[in-house]
Amino acid sequence: MSHVKIWIHSVWGTKNHERVLNRELREQLFLHIRENAKIKQIYIDTINGELDHVHCLLALNADMTIAKVMQLIKGESAYWANKNLLLGPKLEWADEYYASSVSESMIGRVRAYINNQEEHHKIKSFKGEYEDFIKKLEINHHG
């Protein structure tokens, strides 16, 4: 048996940056995402967010891809939220997401960053944060 754990910091937003994820909805949604991920053998270490986006620290195992994990988390959580009418408007996630590997030595720092989203976003918008992530990775996110 292979023993693999690859830490990933992923970030995704609501479609059109709609600010619909109020605190009560986030609590329900994050609890559901954790429970659903556990069933699918996806380990979520930390999850948090703000009105228009979610940060997640998760670990991939040997047979998972980032694309599959993001599809399972995003797609299923929107389906669940809409089926249970948690939101007046329909919950839709943006197609794009950010994902980056995290070294074991940085796990504590990433956890703290994710857990401190409310304070962090008093200073910087999600759009600004996302653009900073992309610049740091030198990724051309326009194709």
pLDDT tens digits, one per residue of 62-83: 889 999 999 999 999 999 999 9
Write phi, then psi, for 18 (nearest 5 degrees): -60, 130
| 143 part of a folded domain | no
What is the value of pTM for the model shown? 0.82
Amino acid 127: pLDDT: 64
Q: In this structure, is residue 126 part of a structural domain?
A: yes
- Amino acid 121: pLDDT: 56
The CATH number assigned to the domain holding 25 equals 3.30.70.1290
The verdict on residue 142 lying in a domain is no
Residue 53 in any domain: the answer is: yes
**Is residue 1 in a domain?**
no
Alpha-carbon distance 44 to 30, whole Å? 10
Element (H, E) at 96: strand 93-101
Domain limits at 117? 6-137
Say what the pLDDT of residue 5 is: 84
Strand order in the sheet with 6-14: 43-50, 53-60, 6-14, 93-101
CB atoms within 10 A of CB 127: 12
- Residue-level pLDDT at 143: 46
With a cut of 70, list the residues of the chain below it in pLDDT. Answer: 1, 120-143
Q: Give the pLDDT of residue 128.
A: 65
Q: Look at residue 141 in the predicted model and tell me its pLDDT.
A: 47
Domains: count for the chain: 1
pLDDT at 61: 82
Q: Which two tokens stand for residue 33?
A: 């995402």
